[in-house]
Structure 1
Amino acid sequence: MRLLSVTALALPALLAACADTALVGAGSDPRPGFALLSSKSRDATGASPTWAQNSAELAANEARVKALIAGKTIGPDTAVQVALMNNRGLQAAFADLGFAAADVWETGLGPNPALAVGISGIGEVGIADAFEAVIVGSLLDLATRKQRGALAMTDFQIAQLNVLAATLALAWETRLAWIDAVAAFEAAALVGRAQGTADAASELAAELGRTGALSASDQAREYAFTAALAAERAEARLEARLAKERLARLMGLSGPEATFYVPDRLPSLPGRRPGRANVERMALEHRVDIAAGRLALDRVAREYRLDGQTRMISDIALAAGVEVERTDGDAGRETETTPVLEIGFEIPLYDTAALKGRRGQMAYLHAANALAQTAIDARAEARAAHAAVEGRYDIARHWRDQVLPLRRTIDEEALKSYNGMLTSTFELIADAREALEAELGAAEAKADYWRAEVAVSAAIWGGAAEGDTE
């Protein structure tokens, strides 16, 4: 029995040489595309995300988060930074970016050759009469590898923009949650202050009732007002607690990890009226969804051109190898080795050129119109957000400069009248109720302004935000 050997073939070396080193390098990066994503996120939000890929990095990240928030009163920038570092849903989105990079890596390596081995004539005399070994590779993949590599890279860039959109959306949502939490604590503080005044008035009403200077009905009105304020205060505290819990969830914190505080009131209105004359241009330049739409349109065009190159022949395969045949003759057993080189291709039964051309045309029209609509929506959202932030600023300033000063004047005069026994306790209670409503209205108008500021940023950069744009 003889051992048959197969000589080294050139086809595997040819396929290996065709690997795209640039694609392989881009796809095999430990954090593919993350540097650009981090830079864009920092430009839009002022915060940089962190991609933790092992236990050591997770531990370091948790230590940094703890240093930022433990026992501290945090602002919106800190809340956003912690969310981009610690939110596990965002970490899952980063893993999706790694999946897209793996596809680029695979495309860069090129197609794997297939090994086919055939043995015939197995009998008692020997192992076999004939032995054939061939390695098959796709020539079509080799011929179009540059175009396929460009498509894979475009898909990766689209995935990168999708992850960036998720990052920005989390940043806007976290900033809104911080505003909601602080606004809730501010409202609770206003109700609590009114509750303290009402408690003092109740004690005075009780003393007046014992002396007969205050009727039972007036005492009941005073007690009802105090009881209603107690219920409102409890509800305001609950709203503040729930708002802080939502903020902690977006920051990736739970239970004992949420050892941070938020301020008791929102920042004051800026001194100047906000305004961006070029908000539409900025949206067209920076919006993530517009950039993704451009890439999608480019991808359709590339894919259509690739289909044009391959629409007549589905695939071409090159088979290279050797065939070893053994025969028994008068001169004894002879072995003959013959090189094998075969080319095969598959031709469709029907000419699908028109079909593929039609599909490519419709796909391009779909992508082009979708991009145009995205640009229209972006400009409209930018205009609406700009109008909303200006309007919300004017409303909040009106509450601050007009309504609240008038309410303070009314309260001062009402207290003078009450001290002079010119008005009843019930009238004083009614004035106190209206004063509280004015304070709460001014605080909510200020919160609406800061929410509108977030909506403007989201309209310029992309990503979902729930700020008022109407």
Structure 2
Amino acid sequence: MRRAVRVASALVGAAYLAGCASLGINDALNSTNTSASQFTGGNLELSRTEEQQKARAGLSQELLSKPLAQDDAVRLALANSPTMQALVAQGWADIAAANQAGRMPNPVFTFERFRLGDELEIGRLLSFGLADLLLLPKRVSIAESLAAQAQVQLTGAVVDQITQVRQVWVRAVAAQQSLKYAEQVKESAEASAELARRMQAVGNFSRLQRARQQVFYADATTQLASARHATTAAREELTRALGLTDVQAAQLKLPERLPDLPRAPREASQVASAAGEQRLDIQQAKAQLEVAGRSQGINLLSTFVDVEAGYRHDTVFDNAGGGSATRRGWEFDIQLPLFDWGTARRDALNAQALAAANRYDAAVRGATSQLRENYSAYRTAYDIARHYRDEIVPLRQSMAEENVLRYNGMLIGAFELLAEARDQIASVTSAINAQQQFWLADASLKAAVIGRPMAGMTSVSSSSPASTLSAGAAH
């Protein structure tokens, strides 16, 4: 009886020890809202009740009732996107699976009943893995590392999704803004083509001169069609990122233009100081290294031997004599390494531990390099956008005003004035593209600081659809 009590006490203690290792989804959400507060604003949650769903629907309706700013787009995605909810639910599943790794397998109760002549034998066996019980503290420690790894993965997935929302919003607003200027170019080209037709009709224009204006009008019409499709595609991409229904998509309103550039760019020293060991990529590689190291010791033992322990309590009834006898004892089932000595499994464990160590080393070495690359893209995009804002666009505006004066003084004709207007519009379109590249790089830099350098990486380019229009206007 004392042995049974000791066995039961050991099993209860094991169950308690395993239960202490649990990390809940609420703990993971609080950690994500704290470590990535600049992304979630503390609003990340998993909706599991009808009240939460109604609150999310109300917030979504409120945000859609006005032009959607970038920060509001992030709030809307957190509240409305089923993709975001799926990420959180998957994180919950991963954390639960990690917690399961710290649980000891349930004991097995075996009941046997045998009859031989006048004898009836009833056997009862309670067995469990002895190695599992002895190594339970290490299993709990591994489960904690796995849960921490799952939590970091959840935070990284949320950061990726929010970065995507920010960049998609930028592209949608920029496409809408560029469409307006494409429409102005088309109207200018249409007026130029009509004027050329009339002048040829009265003999003041050659066929070649009119053909040049007509070709530009045809190109402008094509560019306008492309701009309309780009606007639709960007808007639908934003609709998917926000998880909008058809009714909500019809309610979506965007600002007329992108936000102004900040007065000054972020300094490289500020960006470097914000990054460090708290980076998600380094945390994830470190968690993988800890799991590999702790698992190696446990799994190496199982490659040599596996022991099952059991407590037996048998009762034998003698029907002829009317008596009974009881047998008690222990059983041990030991796996004998006769055919498989576990060398291949040990090689795999050593290789996994070595790979995890090198991945951690690579993450640490590459972190600062990736951050410098993202900052270079950010700073270059800022300088280009500011150059367009402060130099090119004002110069084009000044040239346009001067050409209006020259046209009023009959020093230039209507075609020269229209060509200058088209060049000015093309410069504004290029400025919009440069501003778009800056805000894309800004979102990418924010992700790189927290340790998601591949989230929304963007290249810096000053080219834009307006280049084709500018080339046509030069004729």
* TM-score (normalizing by structure 1): 0.86
User: Which whole-Å deviations, capped at 9, do the CAs of 1:389-428 have from their partners, x for residues lacking one?
Assistant: 1111111122222222222232233333333333344333
Q: Which residue of 1 aligns with 2:362?
A: 373
User: Which whole-Å deviations, capped at 9, do the CAs of 1:81-108 have from their partners, x for residues lacking one?
Assistant: 2212322223222222222333354455
User: Which whole-Å deviations, capped at 9, do the CAs of 1:247-296 have from their partners, x for residues lacking one?
Assistant: 11101113111212111111122222332215345333332121010011
- Taking structure 1 as reference, are residues 26 and 139 closer, same or farther at Cα in structure 2, changes over 3 Å only? closer
Mapping for residues 55-454 of structure 1, pairs under 5 Å: 55-69=50-64, 71-123=65-117, 128-198=119-189, 221-222=212-213, 224-258=215-249, 259-314=251-306, 316-327=307-318, 332-349=321-338, 352=341, 358-454=347-443
Q: What secondary structure, in the 3-state scheme, does the structure 1 residue paired with 2:264 have? A: coil
Contact 2:46–2:88 (CA<8 Å) still a contact in 1? Answer: yes
User: Which whole-Å deviations, capped at 9, do the CAs of 1:357-412 have from their partners, x for residues lacking one?
Assistant: 65444322211111111222222110011111111111112222222222223223
- The one-letter amino acid paired with 2:275 is A
Structure 2: segments with no counterpart, 5+ residues: 461-475
Cα distance in 1, alignment partners of residues 426 and 315 from structure 2: 97
- Taking structure 1 as reference, are residues 273 and 73 closer, same or farther at Cα in structure 2, changes over 3 Å only? same
Contact 1:318–1:342 (CA<8 Å) still a contact in 2? Answer: yes
Q: What secondary structure, in the 3-state scheme, does the structure 1 residue paired with 2:36 have? A: helix
Cα distance in 2, alignment partners of residues 37 and 273 from structure 1: 27
Cα distance in 1, alignment partners of residues 126 and 18 from structure 2: 25
Q: What secondary structure, in the 3-state scheme, does the structure 2 residue paired with 1:74 have? A: coil
Q: What secondary structure, in the 3-state scheme, does the structure 2 residue paired with 1:392 have? A: helix
Cα distance in 1, alignment partners of residues 98 and 228 from structure 2: 52
Cα distance in 2, alignment partners of residues 73 and 47 from structure 1: 23
Cα distance in 1, alignment partners of residues 27 and 41 from structure 2: 22
User: Which whole-Å deviations, capped at 9, do the CAs of 1:135-194 have from their partners, x for residues lacking one?
Assistant: 112221111111011111211111111111110000111000011011111111222334
User: Which whole-Å deviations, capped at 9, do the CAs of 1:189-216 have from their partners, x for residues lacking one?
Assistant: 2223344555666676677677776667
Mapping for residues 27-46 of structure 1, pairs under 5 Å: 27=22, 29=24, 31=26, 33-44=28-39, 46=41
- Taking structure 1 as reference, are residues 328 and 270 closer, same or farther at Cα in structure 2, changes over 3 Å only? closer
Q: What secondary structure, in the 3-state scheme, does the structure 2 residue paired with 1:454 have? A: helix
Name which of structure 1's ranges 6-15 and 226-235 shifts more when overlaid on structure 2: 6-15
Contact 2:56–2:80 (CA<8 Å) still a contact in 1? Answer: yes
- Taking structure 1 as reference, are residues 139 and 233 closer, same or farther at Cα in structure 2, changes over 3 Å only? same
Cα distance in 2, alignment partners of residues 222 and 350 from structure 1: 86
Cα distance in 2, alignment partners of residues 150 and 211 from structure 1: 92
Cα distance in 2, alignment partners of residues 31 and 19 from structure 1: 25
Cα distance in 1, alignment partners of residues 20 and 180 from structure 2: 57
- Taking structure 1 as reference, are residues 362 and 227 closer, same or farther at Cα in structure 2, changes over 3 Å only? closer
Name which of structure 1's ranges 256-265 and 31-40 shifts more when overlaid on structure 2: 31-40
Cα distance in 1, alignment partners of residues 61 and 48 from structure 2: 19
Give the drift of 1:335. Answer: 1.0
- The one-letter amino acid paired with 2:32 is L
Contact 2:378–2:442 (CA<8 Å) still a contact in 1? Answer: yes
Name which of structure 1's ranges 281-290 and 150-159 shifts more when overlaid on structure 2: 281-290
Q: What secondary structure, in the 3-state scheme, does the structure 2 residue paired with 1:284 have? A: coil
- The one-letter amino acid paired with 2:157 is A
Contact 1:84–1:167 (CA<8 Å) still a contact in 2? Answer: no
Q: What secondary structure, in the 3-state scheme, does the structure 2 residue paired with 1:391 have? A: helix
- The one-letter amino acid paired with 1:276 is A
Cα distance in 2, alignment partners of residues 356 and 241 from structure 1: 54
Q: Which residue of 1 aligns with 2:467?
A: none
Name which of structure 1's ranges 154-163 and 320-329 shifts more when overlaid on structure 2: 320-329
Alignment equivalent of 1:17, drawn from 5, 12, 15: 12
Cα distance in 1, alignment partners of residues 80 and 437 from structure 2: 27
Structure 1: segments with no counterpart, 5+ residues: 1-5
Q: What secondary structure, in the 3-state scheme, does the structure 2 residue paired with 1:248 have? A: helix
Percent of aligned pairs with the same amino acid: 26
Cα distance in 2, alignment partners of residues 29 and 170 from structure 1: 22
Q: Which residue of 1 aligns with 2:455?
A: 465
* TM-score (normalizing by structure 2): 0.86
Cα distance in 1, alignment partners of residues 220 and 340 from structure 2: 80
Contact 1:158–1:292 (CA<8 Å) still a contact in 2? Answer: yes
Question: What RMSD over aligned residues (CA atoms) do the two structures have, in Å?
Answer: 3.1
